[in-house]
Amino acid sequence: MSAEEAIIIPGVPSCEPPSLEETTSPHEPLPAKSDQQGPEAVSPTGSPTGAPSNARAQSGQYLTTAQGLRLTDTDHSLKAGPRGPVLLQDHHLREKITHFDHERIPERVIHARGAGAHGLFRSYGTASKITKAGFLAPDVETPVFVRFSTVLGSRGSADTVRDTRGFSTKFYTDEGTYDLVGNNIPVFFIQDGIKFPDVVHAAKPHPDREIPQAQSAHDTFWDFVSLHTEAQAHTIWNMSDRGIPRSYRTMEGFGVHTFRLVDQNGKTTLVKFHWKPKQGVHSLVWEEAQLINGMDPDFHRRDLADAIESGAYPQWELGIQTFPDNDEQTFEGIDLLDPTKFVPEELAAVQPVGLMTLNANPTNYFAETEQVAFHPGHLVPGIDLTNDPLLQVRLFSYLDTQISRLGGPNFAQLPINRPHAPINDMLRDGMHQTAVHAGVAPYHPNSLDGGCPFLAGEDVGAFVDVPEEVAASIKERRNPASFGDHFSQARLFFRSLTAIEQDHTIEAYTFELAKCYEATIRERQLLALANIDAGLCAAVATGLGMAIPDATVQTHALELSPAVSQLGGSWPIAGRIVGIITDASSDLSQISVARAALKAVGVVPLVIAPHGGFLSDNEGQMIAVQRTYLTARSIEFDAVILAHAGTPATGKEPSKDAKASPNASVLDPRITLLLSEAYRHSKVIGAWGPSVLGLKTAGISQSSAGITVGDNASTVIIAITSMLATHRAWERFPAT
């Protein structure tokens, strides 16, 4: 295999190249691609079947009905003559159309738009001192399925909107299924689940016009969060760069709530769960996100699938913050049952307990990603709940919504949801029952089935609820006084950001509030910002052209938490994407050197040329082209390299390509645009040899931060890969 062939370019739709002519020789369905994996083949009651994961896929060489009847035609209805009416007796037509009419199921009310992947979790064993959960014992490997999602948009919305992201993991443990259902932000909008319908109704599109889609920049959202000031802590995280992740692969995850771990002796420890991406936490800039939503609304789901296909498997460490399970359930003055509060890592370090690697894409989006059903009440021995009032309501809501969305109570029997542990639940019948239960006595106790199933003791892995004492109290509708501070943690978060990140947060507030029609709502939110930080409020008010209000609440002074900042570190670059801009004059030997060097460090190199197909030179060397000047845009690349300084290509007329402009003389105007966008978004840019002149033509100074030039590809690639480790050249545009 040549070096060129060894570079995997993701996005191939089939495991076998299609033929130009229609294939007429019968053969079995093609297998899945090498990067794809279906759910493990276990029975509806959790028994291993020994069958391959594709055993549930279609089989046979010929088209059939759902009952296995082979068909000779599926293009023509049965008619009374070629011009006559369609006959009601056409059983194939009725089945085909009826099934099509019922293909859709209700989409999720929230988290409707998602992407998923299969993987493996390997425990370090470091949590085994405080929990008896088997999957957290030393070196235990557990299959997982992860679904990432946006909250507000419909299933057909865009990926890179400013929004909270879901990060939910299903662990198929041998003690039963455990679901860690979290978000990419450690706090939530509300403190009590009874408000959940309210915040969702406020954040969704306005009910009169059904706009705006997948956005928080509208009146009802800001009306709610400015009146329910407990939402300010979550909102400021959303207005920061955390609201627009670069990739699901560079997104942190949080369990949000406080949970209990239980050891072998029944001792409990309170914990918060964290997912830490091995590639670091990185985000898009706002203009870049807006461009992506037009150019590639599937950006995040494509990025995840492409990374797995190219072998750059995403990884996260699971970590825990631990706290004493005392009567107050507080830590350093922070109420651990308040889901609008987080515990800074400087006060309680995140201790790694295992590594998750996502290594396979689904074989079928609907069967796996769409039908996967998470529930925070899916627990295993060693993990239990707390009295967080938002978590308590989620325990009811998640189960209830799965019954509605998936057509009945048997959703656990769908292949993606089937536990990898024996199931003997005495639950019977219902819609979509696929198990064939034996026995005559699905009740307990019984004698007709020999007493089976039997109750288990704690010594054989039974789940035992923590016997928590409930204090004498009054039945009432109110929060504890410790839930009353709505601004201190928002202030802590904002002041812990770097100046660049603060600038981005100010811009986000200004943009979002400027989209609100009602001046009263903008004024009320400015009052909330005044209670968070005077500088933040003043900057946003100035941008809106409104008066700067004074604070009305005394905010507690808290130690800053540098851990919430995304900047200042260095991370692995595997899976990053670099665009190499070429033309007919490019030195292909240097491009081959660049591609091989990038591949060696796990970076995906994509060649951009005036046309598709191949680039070739007089020595017979050929390099495949992945993008053209027509299809490439800066938003796809983490860095770009200019490998030519030639003349504009054909198709540069604005009438043929809206990205083109008649004003460029040397560089193709579409390449000038690509470079200028990459420069404006603080991305790394390189050039070697004569192509350095092209940077000058594009108006890019070699002395700017994040720009590297050299005599050859090797020199430039070394600098490029070094700069990519810090994600972007933020110093190119100093914060104001």
Q: Which residues are known catalytic residues?
A: 111, 183
- For residue 534, the SS3 value is helix
H helices then E strands: how many in the chain? 17, 20
Contact 183, 165 (CB under 8 A): yes
Question: Cα 476 to chain center, whole Å?
Answer: 39
Give me 23's structure tokens: 């294939």
**Residue 220 Cα distances to 180, 324, 400, angstroms:** 30, 40, 26
Give me 493's structure tokens: 């978060």
- Burial (CB count <10 Å: 0-12, 13-18, 19+), residue 648: buried
**Residue 5 Cα distances to 1, 2, 623, angstroms:** 6, 5, 10
Helices (H), 60-143: 91-101
Cα–Cα distance for residue pair 580/602, rounded to 1 Å: 16
DSSP secondary structure, 421-464, as one string: S---------TT-------S--SSS-STTTTPSPPPPGGGT---
Determine how β-strand 707-710 pairs with β-strand 383-384: unpaired
Give me 3's structure tokens: 């070096």
Side-chain-side CA neighbours of 293 within 13 Å: the count stands at: 19
Cα–Cα distance for residue pair 410/429, rounded to 1 Å: 8
Residues 6 or more apart whose CB falls under 8 angstroms from that of 365 comprise 116
**Residue 647 Cα distances to 232, 381, 583, 652, 657, angstroms:** 53, 67, 9, 11, 17
Give me 685's structure tokens: 């840019």
Length of the chain: 736
| Torsion sign over Cα 668, 673, 678, 682 | positive
Cα–Cα distance for residue pair 581/117, rounded to 1 Å: 32
Cα–Cα distance for residue pair 18/448, rounded to 1 Å: 58
Question: Torsion over CA of 651, 656, 662 and 668, rounded to 10 degrees?
Answer: -40
